[in-house]
Structure 1
Amino acid sequence: MSQVTIDTNEVDIVIAAFNSDLTSFLEEWRPIFSRFHLIIVQDPDLKEGLKIPKGFDVDVYTKSDIEKFLSSSSSAAMFSGYSCRYFGYLVSKKKYIVSIDDDCSPAKDNNGDIVDIVTQHITNLKTPATPLFFNTLYDPYRKGADFVRGYPFSLRTGVPCVLSCGLWLNFADYDAPTQALKPELRNTRYVDAVMTVPKNSMMPMSGVNIAFDREIVGPSILPALKLTKEGKYRWETMEDIWCGLVVKVICDHLQLGVKTGIPYVWRNERGSAIDSLKKEWQGVKLMEELVPFFQTLKLSNDAVTAEACVMEMAAAIEKGIGGSRLELANAADNMVEWVKIRKEVESRVLG
C-alpha cells in the first residue's frame, strides 16, 4: 500500500448506533479508533441510553440533540433509522469522514493482520482515481503496481478521489431476496485490491463501510428516498442506494473519482431476511426504473459544485420520474431540504 500522511485532525469516524451497549464494539476497534475523534449518532428509535467505554474522544448525538439542532420536526424526521448516520455527516468539522455501523468488527487480511480501515480509506481518498480509462491492474498508484501498456500518458495523473466504498467479509451486503434464497451464503474471499468505478457506470452503494471527502462531495452524501405508504414505513435499505446513484452522477459530472475494494470489515448478522424483504421489495422493483433514469441524467455546465449539482438534479427528478411517483417527488424535495439543513447546521457548527 502506498504510504500517505494521515493527520488525525482531518478525520472524523461516524458510527451509527442501533444497539445500546457499544462496549464490545468499541473495544474491538480501540486500537484503530482511539486515535481519532468519534461521532456516534443513536438511532432515534432506540430508547435505551448508550453504554460507551472510557478512553475515546467522542461526541454522542441522541434524538433530542438532533431535534435541537434543526429548526423543524420534519427535518429531524430525515434522520430516523439507518439515516441517523447522515446527521453525523452534518455536524462533522473534518475534511474526511469514515462511516461504519455498530454491527461491524475488524477484519483480517490474507496474512492474518487486522485491517486498519481508516488508513486504507484515507489512502484511497488521498491517491488519484482513474475513472476515464480502466487500468487492468486495478489501482496503478499502489506500491508494486503501475499503469499497463497502452494506458494513455495524458490520463495517468488521474482525478481526485472523493468516495471510498469498502467491502465486507462474512455477511456481505446482499439484498433480502438473495439472503432469503441463499441463507447460508457468506463472503469468505479477501481480495487485496482497489479499483476505480468507471465513469458512467452506476453502482449500489452501502453506507456501512465508506469514507468520503466532506469538503468536496459532502452535499451529495444525503438521505432522500425514505418513505412509502404515506410516510408510515421506511425503505431502510434504499436510502444509501439512492445516495449512491446521486453521488456517482455528480462525481462523473465533476470529474471526480469513486473507488471500491479494500478496506474490508467483518460484518455480523443482524435481523431477518424475511423481515427485510417486507421493507425492501418495493425498492427492489423501483431500481429497475431508477437506474435507466440516472444513467441518462445529464447536468449542465453551470453546476460546478456538489451542492449546485444536487439542486439541479432535484429539479430534474421532480420534472421527470417524480411526476408520476409521489415517493420520488418527495425524494427530490428531501434533496432540496438537505441542502438547506446542511447550510443551517454548518453555520452553527463552523460559525
Structure 2
Amino acid sequence: MSQVTIDSNEVDIVIAAFHSDLTSFLEEWRPMFSRFHLIIVQDPDLKEDLKIPKGFNVDIYTKSDIEKLFTSSGVSKFSGYACRFFGYLVSKRKYIISLDDDCSPAKDTNGDLVDIVTQHITNLKTPATPLFFNTLYDPYRKGADFVRGYPFSLRSGVPCVLSCGLWLNLADYDAPTQALKPDLRNSRYVDAVMTIPKYSLMPMSGINIAFDREIVGPAILPALKLTKEGKFRWETMEDIWCGLVVKVVCDHLQLGVKTGIPYVWRNERGSAIDSLKKEWEGVKLVEELVPFFQTLKLSSDAVTAEACVTEIAAAIKKGSHSVLDGAADNIVEWVKIRKEFESRVLG
C-alpha cells in the first residue's frame, strides 16, 4: 500500500446506529477508531438510549437533535438508513468514512485485521484512473505500476473523491437474490483496488464508503427518501440512487471513484422476505433510473457538485418520471439545507 499521511483532524467516522447497545461494536473497532472523531446518529425510530463505551471522541445525535434543526416534520428525512445522511450534514471535516453498526472488522488473507480508515483514506489521497483502464488495477499501489501501452499523458490520473469498500460474509445482495439463495455468503477476499471507468454506473452501498465531503459532499444526498401512499418505504434505494447521482457528477467533473478494499465483515441481519416488501418497488424503479442517468448530460456551467445536482433536479422535472418529482424537490431542498446549515451552524 502506498504510504499516505493521515491527519486525524481531517477524518470523521459516521456510524448509523440501529441497535441501542454499541458496546461490542465499538470495542471491536477501537484499535482503528480510537484516534478519530466519531459521529453516531441514532435511527429516530430506535426508542432506547444508546450505550457507548468510554474512551472515544464521539458526538451522538438523536431524534431530539434532529428536531432542533428540522422540527418534528423533518425527522422522517433521516429515519431508517437515511440517518447516516444527518451525520454527513453535521460533519466539519474533509473526509467522511461511513459505516453501519452491523459491521465488524474483517481479516485479510494473512489473518490480520483490515484497517478500513487507512485504506479508505489511501484510496482518496491517491489518484484515480477513470479515463483509461489499467489492467493491473490501482497503479499507485506499492508493487504496482502502469502497464505497457498506458498513455503517459494520462498517468497523473484525477482526484479520487469516493471510495467504495466491500463486504465479507453477507455481501450487499438485493432481497430477491437473498430470498432465492439464502445460504449465499461471500468468502472471497480480493486484495485489489480499481477505478470505476468513466461513464460506467454502479450500485453504491452506504455501509462501507468514504468520500471527500468538501468536493463531492453535495452529491451524497438522501433525495430518494420516498413514501408511496404510506405503503412503501423504499429505504434500501437511498444509497443506490445516491450512487447513480454521485457517479454522474464525478464523471462530469473529471473526478474518480474507486472500489475494492477495504473489506468489512457484515453480520447477519433481517429477513429477506421483509426486505423484499420494502425493496420491490425500488427494484422495479432501478430499471427506469439507469437509462435516465445513462443519457443525462450536464452543462459546462456545472463546475461544482452543488451545481451538478441542481441540474439533475431540473432534468428530472423535464422528464416523465412522475415518481421522481419528489426526488427532484428533495435535491433542491437538500442543497438549501446544506447552505443554511453551514452558514448557521458551521459559520
TM-score, normalized by length of structure 2? Answer: 0.98
1:318 matched to which residue of 2? Answer: 317
Aligned-partner Cα distance in 2 for 1:245–1:341: 21
In the alignment, residue 324 of structure 2 is paired with which amino acid?
Answer: L
Q: Distance in 2 between matches of 1:151 and 1:90?
A: 39
Q: Distance in 2 between matches of 1:169 and 1:221?
A: 24
Q: How does 1:17-96 map to 2 (within 5 A)?
A: 17-70=17-70, 72-96=71-95
Structure 2: runs of 5+ lacking an equivalent? none
Secondary structure at the residue paired with 1:204?
coil
C-alpha distance in structure 1 between counterparts of 2:333 and 2:211, whole Å = 21
The question of whether the paired residues in 2 share the 8 Å contact of 1:12 and 1:97 is answered with yes
| Aligned residue number for residue 251 of structure 1 | 250
Query: What whole-Å deviation, never above 9, does each CA across 1:33-70 have from its counterpart, x for those lacking one?
Result: 11100000000000000000000000000011011122
Match of 1:348 among 334, 344, 347: 344
Deviation, 1:344, is 1.6
CA distance in 2, matches of 1:349, 1:169: 38
Q: Which residue of 2 aligns with 1:100?
A: 99
CA offset digits 1:161-212 (Å, max 9, x no partner): 0000000000000000000000000000000000000000000000000000
8 Å contact 2:44–2:75 — kept in the other structure? Answer: no
Conserved in 1, the CA contact under 8 Å of 2:36 and 2:57?
yes
Determine the C-alpha separation between the residues in 1 that align with 2:320 and 2:108. Answer: 43
Residue matched to 1:332 = 328
Q: CA deviation at 1:232?
A: 5.0
* Matching residue's letter, 1:102: D
User: What residue is the counterpart of 1:240 in the other structure?
Assistant: 239
The one-letter amino acid of 1:335's match is I
* Cα distance in 2 between the residues matched to 1:228 and 1:40: 25
Q: Does structure 2 retain, via aligned residues, the 8 Å contact 1:248–1:258?
A: yes
Contact 2:2–2:122 (Cα < 8 Å) also in 1: yes
Q: What do you get for the CA RMSD once the two structures are aligned?
A: 0.9
Paired residue secondary structure (1:195): strand
Distance 1:231 1:217, change over 3 A: farther
Give the 3-state SS of the residue equivalent to 2:109 in structure 1. Answer: coil
Q: When the two structures are aligned, how many residues end up with a matched partner?
A: 347
Aligned-pair distance for 1:348? 2.8
Distance 2:146 2:49 in 1: 51
> What is the rounded CA distance, in whole Å, between the counterparts of 2:136 and 2:73 in structure 1?
48
Shift of 1:342: 0.8
Cα pair distance change 1:49/1:232, threshold 3 Å: farther
SS of the equivalent of 2:60 reads strand
After superposing the two structures, state which structure 1 stretch, 294-303 or 228-237, moved more: 228-237
**1:108-257 map, 5 Å:** 108-257=107-256
Distance 1:171 1:321 in 2: 37
Distance 2:320 2:193 in 1: 34
- Asked if structure 2 preserves the Cα contact closer than 8 Å seen for 1:75 and 1:341, the reply is no
Work out whether residues 219 and 305 of structure 2, in 8 Å CA contact, stay in contact via their aligned partners in 1.
yes
Counterpart of 1:296, as a letter, is T
Supply the distance in 2 between the matched residues of 1:304 and 1:321 (Cα, whole angstroms). 26
**C-alpha distance in structure 2 between counterparts of 1:329 and 1:271, whole Å:** 31
How far has the Cα of 1:28 moved from its partner? 0.3
Which residue identity lines up with residue 17 of structure 2 in the other structure? A
Residue pair 1:10, 1:96 contacting (<8 A) in 2 also:
yes
Counterparts of 1:95 and 1:231 in 2: how far apart (Å)?
Answer: 37
Q: Distance in 2 between matches of 1:240 and 1:171?
A: 17
Cα separation, 1, equivalents of 2:53 and 2:326: 40
Letter in 2 for 1:330: G
2: distance between equivalents of 1:37 and 1:266? 22
Deviates more, 1:248-257 or 1:279-288: 279-288
Post-superposition offset of 1:10? 0.2
Instruction: Name the CA distance, whole Å, in 1 between partners of 2:221 and 2:60.
Output: 20
Q: Which 5+ residue runs of structure 1 have no aligned equivalent?
A: none
Query: C-alpha distance in 1, partners of 2:32/2:162?
Result: 20
> 1:227: how far off?
1.7
In structure 2, C-alpha distance between the alignment counterparts of 1:45 and 1:232, rounded to whole Å: 17
- Aligned counterparts of 2:283 and 2:33: Cα–Cα separation in 1: 35
The whole-number CA distance in structure 1 between the counterparts of 2:233 and 2:11 is 30
Q: Give % identity.
A: 87
Give the Å deviation of 1:230.
Answer: 2.3
* 2:197 partner SS: coil
User: 2 CA distance for matches of 1:175 and 1:184?
Assistant: 14
Name the amino acid aligned to 1:76.
V
Q: Is the 8 A contact 2:194 2:258 kept in 1?
A: yes
The SS at the match of 2:270 is: coil
Asked if the contact 1:93/1:349 (under 8 Å) is kept, the reply is no
